[in-house]
Amino acid sequence: EEPATNAPALWGSPTVDNGACCKTLGEVRGNIDRLDREIVRLMAERGRYVHEAARFKANPAQVEAPERAEAVVKKAMALADADGLSPKVAEAAYRAMVRAFIDYEQGIFAAAASRGDAPWRNS
């Protein structure tokens, strides 16, 4: 069954905010929900720039820029390490996110090309 959200912790001592948080799993999840709002807002902003990046690509093969994608992942891992986030968590999250943005950008490019906007023709 799922853990109770209003019961005290079962072991250890609180680690966040110099031990001020957290007294219940509900309090933990309230903070995770607050951060997810920010993360999604930032991802939406990131997505608008990924959309913009498509305008600089001459053909669908250019959308997936593997060297840049790898550099983005490696940078996130280094930033994570400096910020106290597990680099493995950052790597997995960034690989999945960049993959999803590549698919998104491919869709943006394909739609522009089929409108006759992007100056690239399939065949």
Ligand X SMILES: O=C(O)C(=O)C[C@]1(C(=O)O)C=C[C@@H](O)C=C1
Contact residues toward ligand X (CB under 6 A) are: 50, 53, 64-65, 68-69, 72, 98, 101-102, 105
Nearer to ligand X, 25 or 102 (CB): 102
Closest approach of ligand X to the CB of residue 103, in Å: 10
Closest approach of ligand X to the CB of residue 98, in Å: 5
Helix H or strand E segment including 45: helix 25-54
Q: Is the separation of the CB atoms in 94 and 69 below 8 Å?
A: no
Nearer to ligand X, 5 or 59 (CB): 59
- SS3 call for 56: coil
Nearer to ligand X, 28 or 102 (CB): 102
Nearer to ligand X, 28 or 43 (CB): 43
Burial zone of 63 (CB within 10 Å; 0-12 exposed, 13-18 middle, 19+ buried): buried
Closest approach of ligand X to the CB of residue 54, in Å: 7
Backbone φ/ψ region at 14: left (φ over 0), alpha (ψ -120 to 50), beta? beta
